[in-house]
Amino acid sequence: MKIKSLLTGGIILAGFCAFFSCHEKPDEFCEYGFSKGLVVYTGAPEADGCGWTIEIGSVAYHPLNLDVLYQISDLPVLLKFKAEGEDFHCGFRIGFDYQSIRITEIRYHGDDLRTLSEDQRDQYKLDSFRMDSAYLDEDWLLMKVSYGGGCREHEFNLWKLTADPLNPERIEIGLSHESNADPCYGYITRWLVYSLVPLREKGKHEVTFMLRGSPEMSAYFGTYTYKY
């Protein structure tokens, strides 16, 4: 009996450990943790679309409670959710059925701002792209960009640039783009999300920076103040 109790206790403890370890950091394969998702707008249901969906891996779901803050097509997110209700049916000509889910927690998903050093200048690629819009939301900088391609992976990174010797107090941020010599001519539009936490300065509660625009733009895209 004692051995059986120990085994049972060990199994329960292992289950609890697995449960809580799933919450320690986002993990797309963890049942109780976060999943990586992509918010996609498929068109208005009354016009044969299916409204907002969230793609997780190769499966698309119908969110019952997607906050308007996250209703941005092609927005990368991390979320926790549970299946709820009947499947969502949409599409008049070709019917689609999506599993309905209720989101219990959602946040933006993006990379950190990097700091460009003198010996990293070769990583600051400026292949052609267009910056359509940019705005701050708490610790995040969201940018909508467009570019030509469709056949190869495009790499974007956000950098804190090296200081201007003539104005060392000014902070400049720039977006790099590596097209990997994409030979195709499709017009791609997507949202990029970056954490500005690395920009924080000790003893301050806000940082003002200038955001550089697209390679073809001679002026800065805008000046922003990050408050934390």
Residue 55 lies in a domain: yes
Q: Say whether both 64 and 163 belong to one domain.
A: no
- Predicted pLDDT at 52: 97
Which of 50, 85, 108 is the last residue before a domain boundary?
108
Per-residue confidence of the chain (228 residues) as pLDDT tens digits?
Answer: 544 444 444 444 344 334 333 444 444 444 458 999 999 999 998 888 999 999 999 999 999 999 999 999 999 999 999 999 889 999 876 688 999 999 999 999 999 999 998 888 888 999 999 999 999 999 999 999 999 999 999 999 999 998 888 888 899 999 999 999 999 999 999 999 999 999 999 999 999 999 998 877 767 899 999 999
Q: Say whether both 160 and 182 belong to one domain.
A: yes
- Predicted pLDDT at 4: 46
State which amino acid sits at residue 130. R
Residue 216 lies in a domain: yes
How many Cβ atoms sit within 10 Å of the Cβ of residue 34? 21
Which of 83, 108, 133 is the last residue before a domain boundary?
108
Residue 13 lies in a domain: no
CB 212 within 8 A of CB 185: no
- Predicted pLDDT at 32: 54
Residue 12 lies in a domain: no
Of 37, 49, 58, 39, nearest to 88 (Cα)?
A: 49
Residue 156 lies in a domain: yes
Q: Say whether both 131 and 49 belong to one domain.
A: no
Q: Which two tokens stand for residue 205?
A: 């509660």
Q: Say whether both 48 and 65 belong to one domain.
A: yes
The whole domain housing 160 covers 111-227
* CATH classification of the domain holding 221: 2.60.40.2370
Question: Strands (DSSP E) along 42-154, which ranges?
Answer: 52-56, 59-63, 75-83, 88-90, 96-108, 111-112, 114-115, 130-137, 140-149
Q: Say whether both 124 and 137 belong to one domain.
A: yes
Residue 1 lies in a domain: no
* CATH classification of the domain holding 70: 2.40.50
Q: Say whether both 72 and 128 belong to one domain.
A: no
Q: Say whether both 102 and 193 belong to one domain.
A: no
Q: Say whether both 121 and 46 belong to one domain.
A: no
